[in-house]
Chain A
Amino acid sequence: MSMKTFNLPDLGEGLPEAEIVTWLVAEGDVVKADQPIVSVETAKAVVEVPAPWSGRIAKIHAPDGTILPTHQPLVDIDIEDAEGAAPAAQPAAKPEPAPPAGREDSGTVVGRMMSTEEVLEDTAVAGRRRRGGAAATKAAPAVRALARQLGVDLARCQPSGRHGRVIAEDVKAAAGKAAAPAAAREVPRVTLPPGTPQPLRGPRRAMAQSMSAARDLVSQCTIFDDADIHYWPPGQDITARLLRAVAAGCRGEPALNGFYDGEAVSRQLEERVDVALAVDTPDGLIVPVIRDVGRKSLAALREDLNKLKTATRERKVKPEDMRDFTITLSNFGMMAGRYATPVVVPPTIAILGSGGVRHDVVAVMGGVETHRRIPLSLTFDHRCATGGEACRFLAAVIADLALPE
């Protein structure tokens, strides 16, 4: 017989006592180490106490309902045959000085050693020495900060620094800032009349920079038309339908979904449709992105829109949720405005603007009817997309919007 007494441990809260709620095992049961054996209520919670050793429950000292002081005997466990309970075998060559009776070898002289039956699966690899070959862009932190400030993707910068590093000039070049520094100097500086000018901040500042880049870099061309939504049943979600229509446009004409690099004269069309949605806020224009619009149902799009609305209102849109879009939608007609010339933000190729829904008198089969229509304005970068492509895109948008559901 090898009997061990397990005392009620301090359950980590420094409490003097605990109430035994239920025994999960009975005398005579065989338990494994770490198996819960009793549930105990402290002032804060009911916790399950695991068996400290494998063995057979010999005697339960405190039945259900007992309030037991900490460190008082809880249960006796007979560990005679239990696996792993025997102390590490030592050669019996000479008699060992016997430890004082009743004292357990806890593996330490102070404190308490934690021990589990957990078996470590270790797949460590001694350090590799395989310098080189990694693909990440190299740039100093200040250059990364500049890129973030200017809204430039570092990966799209042409590195001109030593060892292929992107330097500040590369970022400015990509942002269209340093494109013509000499010419820029010739532009007379605007002087304001006496007063206290407020520097633009946050989203408004970002808008100023991206719109300047758009003006300097993009050949903007805009097409106007209307989508007839007369056959819509009540309750259609206009914004979600517009998003779906953008995806339909991209399917109909892929040439407008993607990016164009004017300096490299190369375009990169994307299959996935990530739509940036221009949202007006008191702080300025915020343009959060709805991902993979082509694969989402109207309901899923609405869910994304609601999430964005909350995030935008609380100014909690994460920077990564405002980056890497492939096309833009500006739903501007809430207050007024029928058509517009929305501005393409480089390096994307197109932006669709939708004005306010209105009742128009339309000619139908020789007669006249009043239909609800959405006025649409599509601006595209004429450097890399043709007018025909833009019209095909717009036609696909209109066709999708015209569907009843």
Chain B
Amino acid sequence: MARVTLIEAVTMALGWELDHDDRVVVLGEDVGVNGGVFRATAGLQARFGADRVMDTPLAESMIAGMSIGMAAQGMRPVAEIQFMGFIYPTVDQMLNHAGRLRHRTRGRLHVPMVLRAPFGGGIHAPEHHSESTEALFAHMPGVRVVIPSSPGRAYGLLLAAIRDPDPVVFLEPKRIYRLQKQEVEDDGKALPLDTCYILREGDDVTLVTWGAMTFETLRAADELSKEGIRAEVIDLATISPIDMDTILESVEKTGRLVIVHEAARSCGVGAEVAAGVAEKGVWDLQAPIVRVTGYDTVMPLFRLEYEFLPSVARIVAGVKQTFED
């Protein structure tokens, strides 16, 4: 069992799958010789050769399009986009082709590809490198969006994403790429997609979050526990489709829901979670749903970065709001 960071867990999962499934190829800008901007593919080209781990030109639309073509013809491409800020040329490919090829061909073709990209702020990078636009992809029918929040889930969910028969956008919270280490067994065991992960159980309030924000949210839960408020912390993990059952069950128990995300507030995935609870869980709510989120602005430059990102204090305040009359 190795003690690895989240980024090392990504490398480990890619290595396992390249080793055990000949159909898997890794492609992207600088993923080969260089090993990737964040070192996600470090050493993989040396191990598996330039046919399996391919450097591509700077052309994201082509990277996605080529992946779709390979996937539709039986391969398992895992493409890397260097930053979420560069992912938007792939939107046309993902929305118009990857997500609908199964439907369009009446099931004759499907697209088992993964589009990996680091996302989110907190590393003092320029603003277009720091945004969280997972909702764009969550809105696309036929495309799964998966976000890990720990080395263990990065490993298990990436394996599941590669093995999934349909396209998965796999967004990696880069702020926590190297923040913590975890014992992860390199055993090729995937974790289930389309389910939430309950990081902590509690009876008083449900906190739903994902990605790097799990870090602050768990700390907020620690703070709250000092005041006798036992928070249940749920990691959404699969952003689309959302496992509403787990959330509804939790809200049934706690009667209070606080959603924490880094992305801008309006039309974020938090709004979808809130709507789902409003539709089916309203009978259980003891207080209005609260969202603690980034702001509806462009991500600020780095000195104000942590003003934009929800802090432990903002999350605690959001939870207390649900206990006001």
Chain A residues near B (Cβ < 8 Å): 14, 88, 90-91, 93-94, 96-97, 105, 107-120, 122-131, 134, 136, 138-141, 144, 148, 163, 165, 318-320
Contacts and interface: CB of A to CB of B under 8 A. Distances in A.
Most chain B beta carbons < 10 A, residue from A120, A131, A134, A163: A120
A120 B150 contact: yes
Given A120-B181, A124-B153, A111 B124 contact: yes
A263 to B, nearest CB: 23
Given A97-B33, A126-B195, A136-B253, 19 more contacts: A88-B39, A90-B43, A91-B46, A108-B125, A108-B174, A112-B124, A114-B122, A114-B123, A114-B176, A119-B182, A120-B181, A124-B152, A125-B198, A126-B198, A134-B249, A134-B253, A136-B255, A140-B283, A148-B325
A320 to B, nearest CB: 8
Given A118-B180, A127-B195, A111 B245 contact: no
Contacts of A117: 181
A91 to B, nearest CB: 6
A144 B249 contact: no
A114 B198 contact: no
Given A97-B33, A127-B197, A128-B249, A122 B182 contact: yes
Contact of A91 (B47, B196, B197, B302): B47
B99 interface: no
A109 B246 contact: no
Contacts of A96: 46
B192 A115 contact: no
A111 B302 contact: yes
A114 B286 CA distance: 38
Contacts of B124: 111-112
Given A14-B303, A113-B177, A126 B191 contact: yes
Contact of B252 (A126, A134, A141): A134
B283 to A, nearest CB: 4
Nearest to A96: B46
Interface string B176-203: 1111111100000001100111111100
B46 A94 contact: yes
B192 A126 contact: yes
Contact of A120 (B123, B151, B197, B283): B151
A107 B284 contact: no
A165 B225 CA distance: 31
B126 A144 contact: no
B175 interface: yes
A172 B278 CA distance: 25
25 contacts: A88-B8, A88-B39, A90-B46, A97-B33, A108-B174, A111-B123, A111-B124, A113-B174, A113-B177, A113-B178, A114-B122, A114-B175, A114-B176, A115-B178, A119-B180, A120-B180, A122-B182, A122-B199, A124-B197, A124-B199, A125-B197, A126-B192, A128-B246, A129-B249, A319-B325
Interface of A is mostly: loop
Which residue of A110, A116, A124, A125 has the most chain B CB atoms within 10 A of its CB atom?
Answer: A124
A115 B325 contact: no
A122 B8 CA distance: 17
B180 A91 contact: no
Contact of A114 (B37, B178, B243, B245): B178
Contacts of A122: 150, 152-153, 182, 199
Query: Of A127, A138, A320, which is in contact with the most chain B CB atoms at under 10 Å from its CB?
Result: A127
Contacts of B178: 107, 113-115
B246 A129 contact: yes
Contacts of B288: 141
Nearest to A154: B286
Contacts of B5: 115
Given A115-B5, A124-B198, A110 B283 contact: no
B23 interface: no
A130 B201 CA distance: 14
Contacts of B7: 107
B292 to A, nearest CB: 20
B235 A124 contact: yes
Top-10 shortest CB links A-B: A127-B246, A111-B125, A115-B178, A111-B123, A138-B283, A124-B197, A120-B182, A127-B196, A120-B180, A127-B195
B129 to A, nearest CB: 6
Contact of B129 (A110, A126, A319): A110
B38 A107 contact: yes
Contacts of B47: 91
A108 B252 contact: no
Contacts of A125: 197-198, 201
Contacts of B177: 107, 113
Contacts of B126: 110-111
Given A90-B42, A97-B33, A128 B198 contact: yes
Contacts of A90: 42-43, 46
Contact of A93 (B33, B46, B122, B191): B46
A165 B281 CA distance: 12
B109 to A, nearest CB: 30
A130 B174 CA distance: 34
B125 A110 contact: yes
Contacts of A14: 303
B3 interface: yes
Given A88-B8, A113-B178, A119-B180, A139 B283 contact: yes
Contacts of A107: 7, 38-39, 177-178
B282 interface: yes
A141 B123 contact: no
A127 B198 contact: yes
Nearest to B4: A88
B285 interface: yes
Nearest to B244: A127
A139 B179 CA distance: 43
A127 B196 CA distance: 5
A119 B183 CA distance: 8
Count chain B CB atoms within 10 A of each CB in A108, A130, A144 and give the residue with the most. A108
Contacts of B282: 140-141
A130 B33 CA distance: 49
